Structure 1
């Protein structure tokens, strides 16, 4: 197995922000995609989001009308997990970032997905090797860490678990390139490469807000204009979700130690108040206003 020719059917589990983005790029690349989410109406909403993204692409002449219709035709709503995974060559989970949820899911996938299927986790920081232990096919388990918004961001972090085979890595790299991503290979360490660096920058920006160094907008502007970052760390935190950032920070602090990973009290307070970023309408920015 040296390329992705063995992959034609992809199952995406979880139809939230990351799941619908992953489903979209897979469908646009010509894969048949089964999208499953146990929450009522979640897949329907995800398909609406995907159509909206593709419509914008057509309006901006970045996607042809034929390509939009082909992509939408490649998507289907899978009623249950078994139906989604039954004939998949590649399963990608995009469920909440909690180890117990992921290990339970992967244990079920080992029973329901075909023996040849590659099982991929979109985790941004959790151990791929520990997730793989829930299966009887650790050599076919890999991390595929996508970035938000998936249909725009070019990076795909390919995470090799302790027992991931070279064949699985090779297929994952070919898959990444087919869906238009630039892959990097990282070993299975807490936070991998991107989250480990990105979380430190985001947490320090929050500490600067706590200390009154500057406003969130000016801190972000410093990184955007001074370091050529496309988006500042606080606006990015709002897009990722403050609750997600908190969970990653707590995990990294527990696994790696170090004060740089300790969540600031500001972050804990905002999450407790329900200020989760764009998805709740309020974070470091007010997302209820037009133009945000």
Structure 2
């Protein structure tokens, strides 16, 4: 008797629908099982592509793409389990896509296509410091629609993929070595040859500066108050900021110790003698000027 009551409850229709309670329970079980299956397959897929030694960015993009595709399939299976006409939903989805395109929303698909190209060509990779569309930061992720950068002051910047692929990309950490450049000005009365020698010696003694290519110093400008020099030292990319900071402080101390003046901007004002001119004006009766 209890079994018949239970069966009767399970076969009752949900109000305002043609779906029975038993079918709803079955569909929910399918949905939950589908979600766990998607996560499991995504994990298995990631482990599989890790063996191919693909870049992290490419693996992350492919994993996200596969997950979205599988979730769409799970949603369709869930609707089918409810007894709904999935074919009509697919047709409806196609119509929506066509409407979206007709309303000028092609940017969505452009972003997806651009994300595929970024993942395939790989001008950037996870953890690299880059400049994208005028924004500077470390690559945090490249998704289906957008790329995320993390700035040095911990701001998260999201850039649509079409702007990433459609603009110039500056990758500051892809190459193994970089050149550190430090600008410094010396006074016109200083010995330029001595100043260059001091700078060269400073760079050669630095343990992080590479000797091949060797360090160099060039005169970049004859400015208003100084002769501007630029110290150029090659180093490993990871040591760039340390080398630049050390050379900036080091050249200041070295020039100060050796008597090489680093001038500050100044302006010379020449005052003309006006006493004689004032006297002539007074003699002509134009006016009286008190020069005391």
Fold shared, TM-score > 0.5 on shorter chain: no
TM range (shorter): under 0.3
TM-score by length of 2: 0.19
Compare CA radii of gyration and give the structure with the larger one: 2
TM-score scaled by structure 1?
0.19
Greater relative contact order: 1 or 2 (C-alpha under 8 angstroms, separation 6 or more)? Answer: 1
